[in-house]
Amino acid sequence: MKRQDLVSKIKSKQSLLCVGLDTDIIRIPQFIKDNFDDPILEFNRRIIEATKDQCVAYKFNIAFYEAQGVKGWESLEKSLALIPDDIFTIADAKRGDIGNTSKLYARTFFETYNFDSITVSPYMGQDSLEPFYGYNDKWVIILGLTSNKGSADFQMQTLADGRKVYQEVIRRSAEFGDAGNTMFVVGATKTDFIKEVRDIIPNHFFLMPGIGKQGGDLEGSLKNGLNDDYGLLINSSRGIIYASDGEDFDKSAAEAASQLNQSITPYL
């Protein structure tokens, strides 16, 4: 998907919402597991039908699918096929390895599964990410400043010149691509630092996890993260897909997505 197509979809829907399909077989309502051969697919189908008018992106956390072995990969492929072509898709795989291995990761998610984007780790440097840039209209989403507590272990460490590690990672890795094919994961729990990141990369999109169950600051994220092309995808996973564990879980997911959008819209 081209940048302008994503921006146009945000504008037309007045939404920045990315729904995270972190579909845990343990948390799927029992009646789905009792009545369907592929409960992950059926759960996703109902969530997608309930939320597709509310969101501009879906993010699949690959761990929840590959943990189920071959059947999980089949559920992933079939779920991906249910998403309308004009909605942005993210493989939240956090890959990154030496060139030959990354080349196969890129082939997996950009050719075999035809995702629009993939999350990657920049730890091994530019050559580990270059294979992901070999595809037109695909996006590389680089881990920049993550929402977890452990981000302090390395990302927040201070370099000799006084800058933080995450600042140098973002500054340097922004040079690997451009604002038309590169996004950064910037956690909504890190509100105090979002403006600093925006100053480093004023034109790039941020994928922002941490809203909802992780307690991220939506208002602060929007105020400090928005740019002239919107520049944000606000992800919510558990807060939407597990809004209810009853037979009305899809209706509850739609209501949760709508409520989050109502909080976002005034800033657009």
Residues classed as catalytic: 94
The maximal CA–CA distance of the chain, rounded, in angstroms, is 60
Residues contacting residue 139 through CB under 8 Å, at least 6 positions apart: 1, 116, 117, 118, 181, 182, 183
Upper half-sphere CA count for residue 199 (Cβ side, 13 Å) = 7
Exposed / middle / buried, residue 84 (Cβ in 10 Å: 0-12, 13-18, 19+) = exposed
Give residues with Cβ within 8 angstroms of 175, minimum separation 6.
none
Question: Collapsing DSSP states into helix, strand and coil, what is residue 227?
Answer: strand
Q: Residue 25: is it exposed, middle or buried by C-beta count within 10 angstroms (0-12/13-18/19+)?
A: middle
CB neighbour class for 212 (10 Å; exposed up to 12, middle 13-18, buried from 19): buried
Cα separation, 146 vs 152, in Å, equals 9
Beta-carbon contacts of 60 under 8 Å, excluding residues fewer than 6 positions away, are: 21, 76, 79, 80, 89, 90, 91, 92, 115
Burial of 243 (0-12, 13-18, 19+ CB in 10 A): buried
